[in-house]
Structure formats: structure tokens, C-alpha cells
Chain A
Amino acid sequence: MSDAQPILKVSNIESYYGPIMAIRGVSLSLSEGKIVTVLGANGAGKTTILKTISGVLDPLKGAVEFEGKSVQRMDPDKIVRLGISHVPEGREVFPFLTVRENLAMGGFLRTNRDEVAQDLERIYGYFPRLKERLDQPAGQLSGGEQQMLAISRALMNRPKVLLLDEPSLGLSPLLVKEIFGIIRRVNAEQGVSILLVEQNAKKALETADYGYVLEVGRVVMDDTCARLMQSKDIQEFYLGAKEDSARGERRWKKKKTWR
């Protein structure tokens, strides 16, 4: 992207799970106030990128810069303190803590009680259903409610950058719509920059401003979402559009242009 100073910049990172190289020199950048999405199939390395940014995995090579300062190989709690919150894949709420306590943990680093109370009110505005369930253990919530809680919990830290890993995982289409609506509102109303990792390419491209396409640990394509949606490859391989050949059959062995 051409914007002057990206809030989050990842350059040439390589991360391993043991001997397996999960990402092979990925670079991407996120401008302030934007939503950027990373698309890719299972095992492409999307989650690994987010884990590397939030400090859970240390990259072997490359740099992660947040607001111009390099943050790679910092402890995850220090990175959260700087203002990057991670909503992990599969929600990972604290099952035996109540919803209220889960939210309080999201605000663990906050000290100003008035601001915390304001943020709670705002979150109840986004997700009224959480307010009804405040004193229930989070493990008893439905999958959709847990996802709402996971997002709310991350917002309690007033992050500058929100890393969202598969927010649509296992949710009904209606809930997916609701969650993505909230993601857009959070971005518009609070100016939170968002890095969104998604399998649901259609939703992700509709929501985000800019997109990267990841295959086996490499970025193979990046462009604005409007243009990505027009791309033949994206349409066929990620959006599932069928292109009929001259003989009226689908060509199964069609090659992607980047191969």
C-alpha cells in the first residue's frame, strides 16, 4: 500500500513449527484505520502470521514493526500492552470464568475504572446478548456467543490493532453477518485497524479494504479487495465461481496464474 506510515508492518518473516517452515518470507502492511485481510486455504500459514505478530511464535528471520518500533521476539504480554490484541482461532474463552470475569481479563492492563465502564457499555451496545449472560460461565455460551465474547474481550484492551483469526469459524450465516457487521462498526467508530484472517473469502473481501492471498506460506497476490474480487483466480479458487469452457464442461485442471 502506498500510505505513508503503516501502523503494522511485517517484513520477510519466516516462522517454523519445529522443523516445518510454516511461513516463508511473508511481508504485509496495515495502514492506520484500515481493514486488511489475509486469504488462504487450510495450512497456508494465516494463523502462523498472526501468532508471529502477537509474539506467541518467534520468527526465525524477518521483522515485525508496530508504530515504527520492531516488536519481534517480544513477550506476548508486552505486545498486548503496546496495543495489539489477538482474537485467537477457536475463541479460547476462559470456560469456567463468568462472562463478566472474561471481560475483566480483557481489561487486565487497564487502570482507569471509568473508561473501563464506558467500554463495557459500548460492548453491551454491540452485543446485547452478552449483557444477559454476564454471570454465566463462558463455557456454557453457544459458539456464536463465545465468538462475541472473544472479540469483546480483545476490545476491552482498547487496542490500536486487532488481529482477528477466523471469526466466522463454525457460525451460522446469520451470525457471520452479524459479527462482520460489528467488525466494520468497530473499525469505523473506534478507528481500530484490523488484520483479518478468514476462510470465508467472500465475507472477508466485502469487509476489508486490502487483501493478501497466501499459499503454502507465501504471498502470491495482493491488491485492493475491489480488484481482488474481480480477479479470475480469486473468483474461481476462493469464491467458487464456475467458468464454463468452450465445450460446456468445467476445466478441473486449470492452472492458477501465479504458478
Chain B
Amino acid sequence: MLDFIQQLVSGVALGCIYGLIALGFVLIYKTTEVVNFAQGELLMLGGFFAFTFIALLGLNYWIGFALAVVCMAAFGAASERFVLRPVLGSPQFSIVMATVGLGFFLRSVAGMIWGTDDLKIDTPFSTGVLRIGDLVLAHDKLSVIVATAILCIALYLFFTKTQLGTAMRATSENMLAAYYMGIPVKTVVSLTWAISAAVAACAGVLLAPITFIHSNVGLVLALKAFPAAVLGGFGSIPGAVVGGIIIGVIENMAGFYLAQGWKDVAPHIVLLTMLLLKPEGLFGHIGRKKV
């Protein structure tokens, strides 16, 4: 039983990371109908920025964390402006390839700047454990879960309670009508990328004590986060997080209870089953427009 709970908690923690990446996929997909295959690289870059600020420049963890997130938000907006906007209006495939290319580019550049070794940041959560009876939970995993919850609440409030957040939802529902309302659609799209990149950066920094930072960290995670986004119903923000947690828990459980090899296959089996039985995903809705 103890094993089960411990596996569950690490599964949820891992799943939260998947969920945060999936959230980035979904945010960008909803507003621009582009799947950003460089989402994992944004996470990786967030980790490297944090490493630079905290380990190399010796800043306080929280200041370094905040700086990394701000830098990544700016970076996200810039990639939208200079990589995506020029190809806007091209066939879908070209746009997707542009994001794949961006991912490759970022991976190589990160390798050139920061090297190919695994890097490590000392965080307040790196070593501590929480004991409840015989249960031992590592702080690094708990910090991921708590931070994801806070981020989700913050994003929820932003998207439902503020005028700008509502405008972003409106833009994702009907871009042309958003123009007719006087919503600056181009700025909104840049902002979407900024938020996605900032969320990815948070995930990258939170993940640093668990998996270390290296230039391929994003690729592996994004491959798992993609099923998470689909599982939640591509286009649903709560679905992305829930899908991520489900994938994370299944992966961890499969790794613990099943033979070797199942760990990496299990999420994709779940995905295929899901697509066969309920292709719109857990929270997806197929929009119909009245004429």
C-alpha cells in the first residue's frame, strides 16, 4: 500500500510536468490551430536559463526562477513574431515543420552554449522529504504538484475573470469576430506564445532537481505530453492537465508493477485505446456552429 501511494505521488508529479507541457500545446493550438512541436524545447531552455541565473550567476533560487520565466515569456513571444508569423497563411504542414525546425534549432544551440552534460541546480526542494507515518515523500515531487496547482488556479482566474483573458478565449473561438471587436489579435497571439513558454519554463525549473537539465530533456517529455494533450481532448485546458496526470500515473505504475519496457509503451497504449473509443478526448467537445 505504501509503495502504491509513493508511486502514485511520483506519478502525479511527473504527470503534472506532462500536463504543463500539454497545457502549452493546447493554449497555442486553441488560438492559432498550430501544434507547436518545439514546446518541449521551450521547457528545456527554461531549465537552462534557470541554471545560468542560479548556478552560474549565483542568484537566489526564486529570483533566478522568476527571471527564467520572464525571459522565456519574451522568448516565446519572439519566436511567434519571427518564426511563426512569417509563415502564417501557408499550408498547415509548413507551419508544423517550422515548429519542428525551431525545436531542432533550439536543441543544437542549447548543446553548443551549455554543453551536453547533465546540469544540476540546487533548489530548496532538492533534498528534503516529508514524512507522514511510514510514508516518505520527496519535496521535489511535492513542489511540482503544488506549483502546478497554483499555476492552474492562476491561469483559470486569468482566463475567466479578466478582460484580456476573455479576449484570448474569444480569439481562440473566432479570430475574425475578435478582429471585429477591436481585439488586437496579433498581440493576443504573441501573448499566447508568451504564456505557453512561461508555463513551459516553470515546468523546466521545477523538473530540474528530478531529471537534471540536458539538451534532450524536452524532446522526451514532449513525446509523452503529446498523448496527454490528446487524451484530454486537444483544445481543453483542464483536459491537458488531467490527461497529463493520467499519463504520468500510468507510466509510473507500469514501470513499478509491470515488466521492463512497459513503462514507455503504456502511455501510448492508453492513447490508442482512447482514440479508438472516444476520439474527442476526455474533455473535448466537437464545436458546432449554428447557421
Give chain A's interface residues, CB within 8 Å of chain B: 54-56, 75-77, 80-81, 85-88, 90-97, 101-102, 104-106, 108-109, 139, 143, 146, 153-154, 157, 170
- Of the 9-residue stretches B93-101, B174-182, B217-225, B259-267, which lies at the interface with chain A? B174-182
User: How far does the alpha carbon of A80 sit from the alpha carbon of B178 in the complex, in Å?
Assistant: 11
Given contacts A76-B179, A146-B290, A157-B182, contact A108 B167 (CB under 8 A): yes
User: How far does the alpha carbon of A106 sit from the alpha carbon of B166 in the complex, in Å?
Assistant: 11
Closest to B179 in A: A76
- Pick from B183, B287, B288, B290: contact of A105, CB below 8 A: B183
User: How far does the alpha carbon of A88 sit from the alpha carbon of B289 in the complex, in Å?
Assistant: 15
Chain B: interface size category: 20 to 34
User: How far does the alpha carbon of A241 sit from the alpha carbon of B137 in the complex, in Å?
Assistant: 84
A92, B290: Cβ atoms closer than 8 Å: no
B180, A76: Cβ atoms closer than 8 Å: yes
B182, A108: Cβ atoms closer than 8 Å: yes
B173, A90: Cβ atoms closer than 8 Å: no
User: How far does the alpha carbon of A85 sit from the alpha carbon of B182 in the complex, in Å?
Assistant: 9
Give the contacts of B274-291 with A (CB-CB under 8 A): 287-291
Chain B 158-197, CB within 8 Å of chain A: the 1/0 string?
0000010011011001101111111111100000000000
A106 CB contacts on chain B under 8 angstroms: 181
Supply 20 A–B pairs (Cβ within 8 Å), ascending by A: A75-B184, A75-B186, A77-B182, A80-B179, A81-B182, A87-B180, A88-B177, A92-B174, A94-B174, A95-B174, A97-B166, A101-B170, A102-B170, A105-B178, A105-B183, A108-B163, A108-B182, A139-B290, A157-B181, A170-B291
A94, B179: Cβ atoms closer than 8 Å: no
A80 CB contacts on chain B under 8 angstroms: 179-182
B185 CB contacts on chain A under 8 angstroms: 77
B163 CB contacts on chain A under 8 angstroms: 104, 108
User: How far does the alpha carbon of A139 sit from the alpha carbon of B179 in the complex, in Å?
Assistant: 19
A92 CB contacts on chain B under 8 angstroms: 174, 176-177, 180
Best-buried of B166, B176, B181 by chain A (most CB within 10 Å): B181
Closest to B184 in A: A77
B181, A97: Cβ atoms closer than 8 Å: no
User: How far does the alpha carbon of A146 sit from the alpha carbon of B185 in the complex, in Å?
Assistant: 23
In whole Å, how far is B289's beta carbon from the nearest beta carbon of chain A?
A: 7
A143, B290: Cβ atoms closer than 8 Å: yes
In whole Å, how far is B194's beta carbon from the nearest beta carbon of chain A?
A: 19
User: How far does the alpha carbon of A101 sit from the alpha carbon of B174 in the complex, in Å?
Assistant: 14
Given contacts A80-B181, A97-B166, contact A88 B176 (CB under 8 A): yes
Closest to B160 in A: A101
Give chain B's interface residues, CB within 8 Å of chain A: 163, 166-167, 169-170, 173-174, 176-186, 287-291
In whole Å, how far is A71's beta carbon from the nearest beta carbon of chain B?
A: 14
A157 CB contacts on chain B under 8 angstroms: 181-182
Closest to B290 in A: A143
In whole Å, how far is B130's beta carbon from the nearest beta carbon of chain A?
A: 40
B184 CB contacts on chain A under 8 angstroms: 75, 77
Q: Across chains A and B, which 10 residue pairs bring their CB atoms closest together, nearest first?
A: A80-B182, A76-B179, A92-B177, A109-B182, A94-B173, A86-B180, A94-B170, A105-B181, A77-B184, A105-B170
A75 CB contacts on chain B under 8 angstroms: 184, 186
User: How far does the alpha carbon of A178 sit from the alpha carbon of B174 in the complex, in Å?
Assistant: 27
Closest to B289 in A: A95
B181, A153: Cβ atoms closer than 8 Å: yes
B186 CB contacts on chain A under 8 angstroms: 75
In whole Å, how far is A29's beta carbon from the nearest beta carbon of chain B?
A: 22
User: How far does the alpha carbon of A86 sit from the alpha carbon of B184 in the complex, in Å?
Assistant: 15
A56, B179: Cβ atoms closer than 8 Å: yes
Given contacts A104-B163, A108-B163, contact A77 B174 (CB under 8 A): no
- Pick from A77, A146, A153: contact of B179, CB below 8 A: A77
- Pick from A54, A55, A96, A153: contact of B173, CB below 8 A: A96
A87 CB contacts on chain B under 8 angstroms: 180
User: How far does the alpha carbon of A154 sit from the alpha carbon of B184 in the complex, in Å?
Assistant: 16
B182 CB contacts on chain A under 8 angstroms: 77, 80-81, 108-109, 157
Given contacts A95-B287, A95-B289, contact A88 B180 (CB under 8 A): yes
A54 CB contacts on chain B under 8 angstroms: 180
User: How far does the alpha carbon of A198 sit from the alpha carbon of B39 in the complex, in Å?
Assistant: 47
User: How far does the alpha carbon of A170 sit from the alpha carbon of B290 in the complex, in Å?
Assistant: 11
B166, A101: Cβ atoms closer than 8 Å: yes
B173, A85: Cβ atoms closer than 8 Å: no
User: How far does the alpha carbon of A92 sit from the alpha carbon of B179 in the complex, in Å?
Assistant: 11
B174 CB contacts on chain A under 8 angstroms: 92-95
In whole Å, how far is A118's beta carbon from the nearest beta carbon of chain B?
A: 18
